Structure formats: C-alpha cells, structure tokens
Amino acid sequence: MYGQEPIKRLLKSRLGQTEIDQLKRVYRKGQKTWLSVRHGQDLRRIGEAFGAGKHPWFHTIYERHFESLRLRPLKILEIGIGGYDTPAAGGGSLRMWETYFPRADVVGVDIYDKTPHDGGRVRTFRGSQADEAFMRGVVEKMGGVDIVIDDGSHMNEHVIASFKILFPLLDDAGIYVIEDTQSAYWEAFGGSSTDLQRTDTSMGFVKDLLDGLNHEELREPRRAPGPFDKSIVSIHCYHNIVFIEKGRNV
C-alpha cells in the first residue's frame, strides 16, 4: 500500500503545478467538511487535526468566548500564520478557524509570503503587524473586522502597536485576543520578570487598561480618560492569553 510520500512524488512527476494546486484545494475542502461532521464544535480536535499549534488549554478558553458566535458571518483577522519563511508551511490555525466558524471569512497576516494558504474563505497578506498603513489596508480590504487574534511576533512593542492600530477599527461588539502573553516577562521579547510596573510590556499595558475600565470612579483629577477607556467593557486574563471585549463603557 502506498504511503503519502510516494504518492506525492508520483503526482509531482505526472501533474503540473496548477493541477497540483487544484488537488490541494479539493483535498482541503473535503478535509474541512469531514472535520465539521466528525468533530462538530470541538475546537481542540479540529485544531489538532490541522496542527494549529495552540497551547492545549487555549481551546477550552476560546470555546468559552466564541461558542455563541460560531454560526455568525464574522470577519476574523489572525496575526501570525506560522511556518516561518516557508510559504506552504503553517496555516493550521487559519484552517481551524475556517472550520470552526462555517460562515466566517478568515484573514491571516505574516511577514512572510503565505499565499499557498489562500483558498476557500481564507486569505493571507504579507506585512508587519506594527505597520499602521499596512494593517489599516488589510482591514479595509476585509470590509471591517469582528475578531482579532494576535499570535504574531510576541515582541511587546509589536503587540502594543497592533492593539493601538486595530482596536479602534474593531467592530463595536468585537473581541481582541492577545496570545502568548508570557513574552511580557521575557527580556528577549522586550519584557521583564523584575519590573512588573512597566506599561511597555503586553501585560503591563493590559493592567493599565484594567484601571481604565473604572475610569469614571478614579479620583485622580490629572488622569483624563485614556483612548480606550470608553470602548472596553471587559477584560479576561488567563494563563498566557487575554480577551478584550469592545463596547460602550460610559
């Protein structure tokens, strides 16, 4: 019986690249349909099937926040596609979201070319998550955004820059997710394990946003409402992941 590698070599020797790409699209469509029937709403199993690379406990937390939204026609933007500079590598998380949200359009952003993952309801764009003009252009092409998931470089300055660019563009009832916030404590990513009062790390920035939730009750006359105080209604912090919900907070 043939294994996968001999079959791949046989196909490459007999077919052109265009035909191979067509076969890949058919395979992916069939895989998504099978996973939807086999696993239904089980995000963990869908993620494992696609090799999404999320921490094991993330799936349960995501389901807690996303289950009620699953069947809505959402626009989802994920920063970071994976696979580094190999175009066809990575992409498992994009396919996971496309399968879990059967009516959503899913867009991925990466600093490397990831166009081999384009297809179905998935599109990719190449650029930096800290480039304001680029990120605004992506959201414009999407026609708006309902959910942002930052699984990008995890560099603290990039995480904060992306939030400042994208949160104002998020739908009024949207959700902004920051993954792998452990980098807030790692010096190699611009973080610190000793100075926990810094506001230039992802978690330090989030702590400041938490105070902003109660901006109307602050008695410090010199503190005017921050740029996000009136548009964040809840912040949920978990081990290495944060969910920020947008809404009217006045």
Per-residue pLDDT of the chain (250 residues; tens, 9 = 90+): 344 566 566 556 766 677 666 656 656 655 555 555 454 578 999 998 899 999 999 999 999 999 999 999 999 999 999 999 999 999 999 999 999 999 999 999 999 999 999 999 999 999 999 999 999 999 999 999 999 999 999 999 999 999 999 999 999 999 999 999 999 999 999 999 999 999 999 999 999 999 999 988 887 766 677 899 999 999 999 999 999 999 999 8
Report which DSSP code applies to 169: G
Q: Which two tokens stand for residue 187?
A: 């010096």
- State the pairing for strand pair 241-246/170-179: antiparallel
Residue 145: exposed, middle, or buried by beta-carbon count in 10 A (0-12, 13-18, 19+)?
buried
Q: Give pTM, 2 decimals.
A: 0.85
Q: Which amino acid is at 142?
A: M
Q: Please report which residue ranges of the chain form alpha helices under DSSP H.
A: 4-14, 17-39, 43-50, 58-66, 92-100, 132-142, 156-166, 202-213
- Residues that are catalytic: 154
Kindly list the structural domains of the chain, giving each domain's residue range(s) and its CATH number in brackets, ordered by start: 40-246 (3.40.50.150)
Q: Which two tokens stand for residue 91?
A: 């992409």
